[in-house]
Chain A
Amino acid sequence: MSKFKKKKSEGQPAISTASLPDIVFMLLFFFMVVTVMRQNTLMVQNKLPFANQVEKLDKKDLVMYIYAGKPSQRYQERFGSEARIQLNDKFAGVGEVQQFIFSERETKREELIPYLTTALKVDEETNMGLVSDIKQELRKAEALKINYTTKEGDALQNMQ
């Protein structure tokens, strides 16, 4: 009886899955790095319009977001289907925009305040009346730098 008896080869050897965790970890790190956690839960429909003459907003901490659009399906019972403004995590009236800008400014360092940009994320079906009301409020609050956030694409798609 030999101790070192050669094992009979049983067909093809099983494929080693030892490197599977490595691959998965690689993917995991990629997604961890690119993930940006949403600061606000969206309560409005937010289908952004398309445009191709866009500029990038690169300093994320210097951007204030104002959302507008019809309330999402699950809020429509309570708030109706009229387009509304969302600031932080709740619906707001037009009069609250100034207050929002001031309180956002307070959280930033003083020397950065002139660089603050307001990003308007407005649903493409919203009427301009609401958007101009927001713009008037921003003018009163002296938040003059704005950016209409859009998706990149042909602007003619908006018209259909």
Chain B
Amino acid sequence: MARREAPEVNAGSMADIAFLLLIFFLVSTTIETDSGISRKLPPWQPEEQDPPVIKERNIFQVLVNSNNQLLVEGEDMEIEELRQAAVDFIDNGGGTGDEACDFCQGEGSSSSSVNPRKAIISLVNNRGTEYGTYIAVQNELVAAYNQLRDREAQRLFGTTFTEMEAKFNDSRTSEGAQETLKERIELIKDMIPQKLSEAEPQS
């Protein structure tokens, strides 16, 4: 008796099944946004402590009120101008002697910061401020720091700070290269530290 041939399975409905699965995954997919502004909170201190004495000229005061308006160093300001104002403040370099800044390109005004190492940006917001505005202000201030860090990295190492950080975090970079990158990043961070102080919001 002749061997009966195995009947061929009809694969026509395979596409239907695949489509069904495809549509399910299409619908359930959410491309998660997992990037943002990283910050480090100061440790909790239960008892009140005397604040360290800081010269007024080294503080850059940013106030945000409940109508999302900015008051920078006692004057009204639009958010578009904040970045440049912060850059001017950090990069002022008005110090002399020990406090002198050898790389600053600012105008050296006597009412602004002496050195990027000493410059502190103080951000105070109201409880009624919108979160979106707060993030915009944070973003502009971080951008000001990044702009200066990029400039110095460009001058010293011929590449930008953000690029160095991206390369450092890239797992494909070899260990030796990572070592040198880390040193360079630390150097820049030491030259222009991010000193952003946030007071508790006032009602």
Contact = CB atoms under 8 A, between A and B. Distances in A.
Interface of A: 17, 20-21, 24-25, 27-28, 31-32, 34-38, 48-58, 60, 63, 117, 119, 122-129, 131-132, 135-136, 138-140, 142-152, 155-156, 158-159
A24 B80 contact: no
Contacts of A128: 125-131, 134, 201
Q: Is the interface of A mostly helix, strand, loop or mixed?
A: mixed
Contacts, number: 168
The 4 A-B pairs of least Cβ separation, nearest first, read A129-B127, A124-B132, A158-B132, A31-B25
Nearest to B22: A28
Given A49-B136, A159-B79, A129 B15 contact: no
A24 B20 CA distance: 10
B151 to A, nearest CB: 15
Given A128-B126, A159-B133, 9 more contacts: A24-B19, A127-B128, A129-B201, A132-B127, A132-B201, A139-B44, A140-B44, A155-B139, A155-B140
Interface of B: 11, 14-15, 18-19, 21-22, 25-26, 28-44, 68, 79-80, 125-136, 138-140, 142-143, 146, 169, 200-201
